Amino acid sequence: MFCKHCGAQIPDGSETCSSCGGSLKAGGPAPTASSQPAFNASSVKDMAGGLADTALEKTAGLPRALIAKVCVLIALVAFFLPFISVSCSYQGEKAEESYSGFRLMFSIDKDDDEVAENADSDPKPNVFLMVAFAGGIATAVFLFVKKNNKLAAIISCVSVVALLIFRMSFTGYYDIPDEMAKYVDIDAKFGLILCILMFIVTAAASFLEHKSESSGGGSSSL
């Protein structure tokens, strides 16, 4: 169990916290400020370790390795689904176009494209999507071939960050001028949301599998 005052992991059934001295009984006094432990890197690490151990207990018996493999494959397939929709309303006319992640990774045809027509510069490949897609391939290699769950979890997190940066920097990345931006609506589509979620699940499942192997719990893969 965890102390409700400081979050430290303590034996089940304890009436007081051995870390901060606070009472765990209903209506019991909270620890004084002087008795509470300092919030430092060590306490954060202990709390994170406790949460990881709890997650391992909750997912015991689940095929975590298999879940990670399936999710990373879904994430890669999601790049071929709509990632972004761009709609432009001007003088009573409205045009809308959707883009898959795979299409945005490469140059866009400026002659018949809504984003490219309104951009100040020439169309360009999206580096952040390339990083995310390459990270997905690398994650799959570490899961299926190298059997390195720790690196798979780290690279999956990198892909998530790259996708978030892609979404937040979309307008600036394609140099859409301010006078046009007010007429343009940019929305995340199902493919992007699915891709981010699958990379997150891949990272979590890979990390828990690595944690289980490190603690001697063995692999739960099929």
Listed by start position, the domains of the chain span: 1-58, 64-214
Tokens 């954060």, residue located = 44
Reduced to 3 states, what is the DSSP secondary structure of residue 32?
coil
Q: What is the reported pTM?
A: 0.71
Instruction: Identify the DSSP state of 107.
Output: -
Q: Which residues of 122-131 are buried (b: 16+ CB within 10 A; e: fewer)?
A: ebeebebbbb
Domain 64-214: which CATH number of 1.20.1740, 1.20.140, 1.10.3470, 1.10.8? 1.20.140
| Sequence-separated (6 or more) residues with CB below 8 Å from residue 56 | 208, 211, 212, 215, 217
**pLDDT by residue, tens only, the chain of 222 residues:** 677 777 777 777 777 777 777 777 766 666 655 455 555 566 666 666 677 778 778 777 789 999 999 999 999 999 999 999 988 776 667 778 888 999 888 865 544 455 545 554 455 789 999 999 999 999 999 999 999 999 999 999 999 999 999 999 988 887 777 777 777 788 999 999 999 999 999 999 999 999 888 877 554 444
